[in-house]
C-alpha cells in the first residue's frame, strides 16, 4: 500500500540520520586536539609600557604634608630631589612660582606656607584660642572654630606647630593660674557675704587665722627633730650637744616640747 510504504520510508530515513550523526560524533571524538603552547610574556619589553601620568601638584602637596607632620618642618629643595617626584620645576624661579601657587592648599591643611616667619601666629588661630579659653563662652570648640572659619582639621594641624602649641598652652595655664583663682575668690566672697559658715571657716584657714585640725606643737617637734638629724650629719658631737642644751634653755620653746 502506498501509505504503508511512505511510512516505512520515513522511519528508514530517521534511522539513517541517527546513524550518520553517531558516526560523525565518534569521528570528531577520535580526532586529537592540537597542542596549544602556554601564553608567556617572553620577549615583551615592559619598558615601553605607557606609564601613568602623575599630577605633580597633587603629588608635591601630599609629599609636603607627610614630610611636615613627620619631621615638623617644611621640605627644602634637597628633600624634593631625594623624593624622585617627576615633573619638578627646572629652576628656582619656577620653584618660587610653584610654592606661591600652593600657599592656600597648605594653609587649608594647617601647614604654614613657605617664607612664613618662624614665630608667626596664624590670626585665625589666635582668634580661635581667645574664644576657646573664654570660660563664659559655653559653645563647643567646633562651633567656635566655625566662627573664625577654621576646620577641625586645620585646628589640629596648627596645634602640631610648636609656636602655636606653646601659645595655646600659655593661654590655658593663664586660665588656671590666674582666672580660676580670681573666680574662686569671687565665689568664696559671695558665699561669705551670704553667711556660709563653711566658706568663712575655709577663708580663715586660707589666711592662717584658724586651723583646728593642726597641732602646732607637734609640728614644731617634728621640725626640730629634723633639724637635729641634719646637724648630726654635719657637725661634731660636742657641738651638737651644745645646740641641744641651748634649745632646752630657750624660753621660746614650750616646756612640753623640751621634755620630748
What pLDDT is attached to residue 219?
66
Helix residue ranges, H only, the chain: 2-30, 56-71, 77-83, 92-101, 103-108, 123-132, 141-147, 152-159, 162-174, 180-193, 197-206, 216-234, 237-249, 255-259
Mean pLDDT of 199-205: 73
Q: Which residues of 28-57 are buried (b: 16+ CB within 10 A; e: fewer)?
A: eeeeeeeeeeeeeeeeeeeeeeeeeeeeee
What pLDDT is attached to residue 209?
59
Segments making up each domain of the chain, as ranges: 56-108, 117-212, 216-259
What span, in angstroms and rounded, lies between the C-alpha atoms of 79 and 77?
A: 5
Written as nine digits, the cell of 4 is: 504503508
Report pLDDT digits (tens) over 137-174.
Answer: 889 999 999 998 888 888 988 888 888 899 999 988 88
Report pLDDT digits (tens) over 38-90.
Answer: 666 666 565 665 566 678 888 888 998 888 888 888 888 888 888 888 888 88
> To which residue does cell 657637725 refer?
235
Q: By percentage, how much of the chain surpasses pLDDT 70?
A: 69
Closest by CA to 63, choosing from 81, 77, 83, is 83
CA distances, 196 to each of 109, 181, 199, 226 (Å): 53, 19, 5, 39
Written as nine digits, the cell of 171 is: 593661654
Residues with Cβ within 8 Å of 201's Cβ and at least 6 positions away in sequence, in order, are 210
Count the Cβ atoms, other than its own, within 10 Å of residue 176: 9
Amino acid at each position: 500500500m502506498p501509505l504503508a510504504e511512505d511510512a516505512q520510508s520515513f522511519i528508514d530515513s530517521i534511522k539513517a540520520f541517527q546513524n550518520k550523526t553517531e558516526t560523525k560524533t565518534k569521528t570528531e571524538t577520535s580526532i586529537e586536539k592540537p597542542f596549544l603552547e602556554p601564553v608567556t610574556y617572553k620577549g615583551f619589553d615592559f619598558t615601553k609600557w605607557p606609564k601613568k601620568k602623575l599630577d605633580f601638584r597633587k603629588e608635591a602637596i601630599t609629599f609636603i604634608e607627610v614630610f611636615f607632620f613627620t619631621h615638623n618642618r617644611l621640605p627644602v629643595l634637597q628633600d624634593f630631589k631625594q623624593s624622585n617626584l617627576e615633573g619638578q620645576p627646572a629652576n628656582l624661579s619656577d620653584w618660587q612660582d610653584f610654592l606661591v601657587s600652593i600657599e592656600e592648599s597648605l594653609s587649608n591643611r594647617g601647614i604654614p606656607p613657605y617664607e612664613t616667619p618662624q614665630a608667626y601666629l596664624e590670626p585665625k588661630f589666635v582668634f580661635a584660642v581667645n574664644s576657646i579659653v573664654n570660660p563664659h563662652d559655653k559653645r563647643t570648640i567646633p562651633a567656635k572654630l566655625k566662627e573664625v572659619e577654621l576646620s577641625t582639621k586645620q585646628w589640629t594641624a596648627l596645634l602640631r606647630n610648636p609656636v602655636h602649641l606653646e601659645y595655646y598652652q600659655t593661654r590655658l595655664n593663664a586660665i588656671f593660674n590666674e582666672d580660676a583663682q580670681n573666680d574662686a575668690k569671687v565665689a568664696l566672697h559671695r558665699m561669705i557675704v551670704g553667711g556660709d559658715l563653711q566658706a568663712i571657716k575655709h577663708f580663715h584657714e586660707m589666711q592662717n587665722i584658724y586651723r583646728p585640725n593642726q597641732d602646732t606643737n607637734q609640728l614644731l617637734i617634728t621640725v626640730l627633730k629634723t633639724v637635729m638629724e641634719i646637724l648630726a650629719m654635719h657637725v661634731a658631737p660636742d657641738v651638737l650637744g651644745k645646740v641641744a642644751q641651748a634649745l632646752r634653755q630657750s624660753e621660746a620653746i614650750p616646756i612640753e616640747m623640751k621634755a620630748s
